[in-house]
Amino acid sequence: MLKVWGRRNSINVQKVMWAVGELGLEHEHIDAGGSFGKLDSEEFERLNPNRRVPVIEDDGVAIWESHAIVRYLAAKHGSGSLWAEDPATRAAADMWMDWTATDLQNVFIGLFWNLYRTPEPQRNWNLIRQGIARSAILFRLLDRHLEGRRFIAGDTFTMGDIPAGAQLYRYYELEIDRPALLNVEAWYMRLQEREAYRTHVMVPFDELKGKLSF
C-alpha cells in the first residue's frame, strides 16, 4: 500500500495529499516532522537523506520532493486527468509547477515565515513588506495567465494546478493587503469545489503562528 510521510499542516505534504485525494488512492498516512518527530530516525534517513517531508513509499520505491511525488502519482494513476495525454498540455502543467517551485512558493513562504511564523517582537517589517509586494507581482502574473482559462493548463484540472493552488488558502487567510485578482479568485473558487482540496489544503494553520521551530 502507498505510504505518505509528513505532517498535514505542511504545504508540501498538502500537495501530495491533494493529489492522493484527487486520484482516490488507498494509502497509509504517517505523521512525521514538526511535533511528530521521526525525521532523525535511521528508518527515515534511508527513505530521504535530506530528512524532510513529504516522502512516499510505493512498490518498494521511496520518492521525495513534493513536485516529483505529484508527477509520479499523476503519471502512474492519473492518465487523462492529472496527467494530461496531450504533450503540450502536460508541458504547460510542468512549466507552472516549476514556476511555483522557483518563484511563487519561494517568495510566498518567505512572507509566511516572516509575518506569521515569526514571533511578533522579532518580525522584520521591511522583509514583510517586500514579501507582500513581491507576492502581489507574482500573483498578478498568474492572474494574467488565467485569463480565459479555467485551470492552469487549460479548461481541465491537471497536476499543474496543485503546486500553485496549494498556496492560495494561506494567501487569502493572511491579514494582508492583496491586489484585485479576478481570475485567480475565480480559480480559487473552482478549487474549493473539489473535495480533495477542501480536505487536504484548507487545513487550519493556527498552531504555526509565532513558531519558528517547525
DSSP characters over 88-120:
HHHHHHHHHHHHIIIIIHHHHHHHHIIIIIS-G
Grid cell for residue 203: 487545513
Looking at residue 157, which CATH number applies to its domain? 1.20.1050.10
Same domain, 189 and 115: yes
Instruction: Select from 52, 77, 102 the last residue of a domain.
Output: 77
Same domain, 135 and 114: yes
Task: Please check whether residue 46 lies inside any domain of the structure.
Answer: yes
Same domain, 144 and 192: yes
φ/ψ of residue 165, rounded to 5:
-65, -30
d(CA 64, CA 55): 5
d(CA 39, CA 122): 28
Same domain, 67 and 8: yes
Task: Please check whether residue 64 lies inside any domain of the structure.
Answer: yes
Same domain, 72 and 176: no
Same domain, 106 and 42: no
Task: Please check whether residue 124 lies inside any domain of the structure.
Answer: yes
Q: Write down the pLDDT at residue 21.
A: 98
Same domain, 105 and 153: yes
Query: Domain total for the chain?
Result: 2
Instruction: Select from 34, 59, 77 the last residue of a domain.
Output: 77
Q: In this predicted model, what pLDDT tens digit does every residue of 16-50 receive, in sequence order?
A: 999 999 999 999 999 999 889 999 999 999 999 99
Q: In this predicted model, what pLDDT tens digit does every residue of 78-91 receive, in sequence order?
A: 999 999 999 999 99
Task: Please check whether residue 179 lies inside any domain of the structure.
Answer: yes
Choose among 118, 158, 111: nearest CA to 139: 111
Same domain, 34 and 139: no
Tell me: pLDDT of 214 over 70. no
Tell me: pLDDT of 12 over 70. yes
Same domain, 125 and 91: yes
Q: Write down the pLDDT at residue 20.
A: 98
Instruction: Select from 77, 96, 112 the last residue of a domain.
Output: 77
Task: Please check whether residue 161 lies inside any domain of the structure.
Answer: yes
Residue 99, domain extent: 87-201
Looking at residue 28, which CATH number applies to its domain? 3.40.30.10
Task: Please check whether residue 210 lies inside any domain of the structure.
Answer: no
d(CA 145, CA 117): 30
d(CA 75, CA 85): 10
Q: Write down the pLDDT at residue 213.
A: 72
Task: Please check whether residue 190 lies inside any domain of the structure.
Answer: yes
